[in-house]
């Protein structure tokens, strides 16, 4: 059985970037067809209710700035007034070091008094103000995050704070990431101010002045009463029902007219689509597989972008069963501590109604670039690892009454050295009439990935 469809733009991939592209094009009056192989839209952003717990299958929250483009779309779908800012407890963040929890210092007084760093390490950080800019590397080298932080702030700051932070954000290691691509703000602060400390002070003052003139929400972590899935449902509802289909793109070719002839497979039904333009809103590896047959050069570059595998465990337990528990955002682990998990988010502390009364919901991340085998381990082995780590960190006394696992084989794009050149090459090799979008192009956060989708849609309106 075969069906034939026509559209102006075919968007392949129904994650947050694909939805952004489709919404922008729909708003511009274009006939859009959004294709998603999974049985749901949103990609990694998915909220599930299970046994009284509200689980985020991917991101637990989103960082919003006042001028982020996603804010306008939240207003468009009626969600801006429903934003929930993370609780004040979320400012309490912890690092596991020397066998115990230390609060991350978030102010100058707390940095000066914290026992996390030695006196010598604090003096080394203070010296950053006087270190001249410049990596000392050969011209054209792509400095890693590790090299950058060692150079400016010292080994102690790198090991105890930046290393666990990188694990929490990228599921990676500072020596595996490009500072220019993964944390462009750090590089920019040094170049423009000669010092990170001086630059951070100026940036803080500038942001305070800027926030007074912007209409978006104050910067911070946000979600919704029903989780981030509430946003996906609203964005999906912005599109007409006939604008998306659950199917898989299995083949495509360009016609003499310049249009694209695409073949979709929906269970056993073959669907043929004629589209004038196409957006690939997939992982870089999937985009590479789609383009390989007709454009092998760009496919090779896309396939070379590493992706970190991540396993997530959701643990629901009585608060009394965690004697070492401290209210807050969560816990991160320096590589030097040799723990077997990347980090813990204390989900029930961030937003209300994430767990039944008297219970705590912990979201535990494991695997990543340094321990990919743990991410793909057997369920019973993974559960044993997670419970063992919770016993060591929080003193877990009882077996949890809730445990669930989610795995992502390609969870987080890695902005490794040379990433900027790879992105530049991808853009130069992208065939006419095709646009690419995803978290491998302009940032891995929800907001930046959404902006990437808007940019892709806008590029096809020109």
Domain range for 264: 2-45+67-79+224-305+417-459
Same domain, 347 and 378: yes
| Maximum Cα interatomic distance, the chain, rounded to a whole number of Å | 73
Same domain, 300 and 425: yes
Rounded to 10 deg, the angle between the 296-303 and 419-429 helix axes is: 160
Confidence of residue 216 (pLDDT cuts 50, 70, 90): low
The angle subtended at Cα 283 by Cα 149 and Cα 289, nearest 5°, is 125
Q: Do residues 34 and 239 make contact, with C-beta atoms less than 8 angstroms apart?
A: yes
The structural domain count of the chain equals: 3
For position 296, which CATH number holds?
3.50.50.60
What are the pLDDT digits (tens) for 73-108?
A: 999 999 999 999 999 999 999 999 999 999 999 999
* pLDDT for position 405: 98
Same domain, 388 and 314: yes
Same domain, 135 and 190: yes
Q: Is 101 inside any structural domain?
A: no
User: Which of 190, 211, 232 is at the close of a domain?
Assistant: 211
For position 387, which CATH number holds?
3.90.660.20
For position 131, which CATH number holds?
1.10.3110.10
Q: Is 146 inside any structural domain?
A: yes
* pLDDT for position 137: 80
Same domain, 166 and 187: yes
* pLDDT for position 382: 98
Same domain, 326 and 292: no
Please say whether the dihedral angle defined by the alpha carbons of residues 423, 31, 28 and 75, taken in this order, is positive or negative.
Answer: negative
Q: pTM of the prediction?
A: 0.94
User: Which of 178, 211, 244 is at the close of a domain?
Assistant: 211
Same domain, 313 and 402: yes
φ, ψ of residue 169 in degrees (nearest 5): -90, -50
What are the pLDDT digits (tens) for 300-353?
A: 999 999 999 999 999 999 999 999 999 999 999 999 999 999 999 999 999 999
Same domain, 157 and 168: yes
Q: Is 92 inside any structural domain?
A: no
Q: Do residues 394 and 385 make contact, with C-beta atoms less than 8 angstroms apart?
A: no
Same domain, 286 and 425: yes
Q: Is 430 inside any structural domain?
A: yes
User: Which of 211, 235, 260 is at the close of a domain?
Assistant: 211
Same domain, 146 and 190: yes
Q: Is 369 inside any structural domain?
A: yes
Residue with tokens 């192009």: 441
């Amino acid at each position: 059985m075969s069906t034939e469809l026509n559209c102006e733009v075919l968007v392949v991939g129904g994650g947050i970037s694909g939805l952004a592209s489709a919404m922008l094009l729909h708003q511009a009056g274009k006939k859009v067809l959004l294709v998603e192989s999974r049985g749901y839209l949103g990609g990694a952003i998915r909220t599930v209710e299970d046994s009284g717990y509200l689980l985020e299958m991917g991101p637990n929250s989103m960082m919003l700035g006042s001028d982020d483009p996603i804010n306008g779309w939240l207003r468009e779908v009626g969600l801006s007034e429903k934003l929930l800012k993370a609780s004040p407890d979320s400012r309490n963040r912890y690092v596991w070091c020397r066998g115990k929890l230390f609060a991350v210092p978030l102010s100058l007084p707390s940095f000066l008094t914290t026992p996390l760093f030695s006196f010598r390490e604090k003096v080394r950080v203070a010296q950053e103000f006087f270190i001249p800019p410049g990596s000392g590397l050969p011209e054209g080298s792509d400095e890693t995050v590790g090299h950058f932080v060692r150079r400016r702030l010292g080994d102690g700051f790198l090991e105890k704070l930046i290393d666990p932070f990188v694990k929490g954000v990228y599921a990676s290691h500072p020596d595996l990431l490009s500072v220019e691509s993964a944390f462009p703000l750090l590089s920019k602060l040094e170049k423009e101010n000669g010092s990170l400390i001086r630059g951070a002070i100026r940036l803080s003052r500038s942001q305070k002045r800027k926030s007074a003139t912007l209409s978006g929400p104050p910067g911070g972590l946000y979600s919704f009463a029903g989780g981030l899935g509430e946003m996906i449902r609203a964005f999906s509802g912005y599109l007409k029902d006939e604008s998306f289909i659950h199917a898989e793109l299995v083949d495509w070719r360009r016609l003499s007219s310049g249009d694209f002839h695409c073949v979709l497979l929906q269970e056993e039904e073959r669907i043929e689509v004629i589209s004038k333009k196409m957006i690939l809103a997939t992982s870089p590896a999937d985009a590479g597989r789609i383009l390989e047959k007709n454009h092998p050069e760009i496919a090779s570059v896309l396939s070379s972008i590493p992706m970190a595998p991540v396993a997530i465990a959701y643990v629901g337990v009585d608060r009394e069963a965690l004697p070492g528990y401290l209210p807050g955002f969560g816990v991160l682990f320096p590589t030097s501590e040799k723990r077997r998990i990347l980090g813990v988010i204390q989900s029930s502390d961030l937003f209300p109604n994430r767990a039944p009364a008297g219970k705590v919901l912990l979201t535990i991340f494991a695997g990543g670039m340094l321990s990919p085998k743990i991410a793909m381990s057997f369920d019973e082995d993974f559960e044993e690892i997670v419970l063992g780590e919770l016993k060591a960190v929080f003193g877990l006394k009882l077996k949890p009454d809730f445990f669930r696992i989610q795995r992502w084989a390609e969870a987080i794009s890695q902005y490794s050295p040379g990433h900027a050149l790879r992105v530049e090459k991808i853009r130069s090799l992208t065939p006419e009439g095709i646009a690419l979008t995803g978290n491998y192009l302009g940032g891995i956060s929800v907001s930046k990935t959404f902006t990437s989708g808007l940019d892709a849609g806008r590029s096809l309106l020109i």
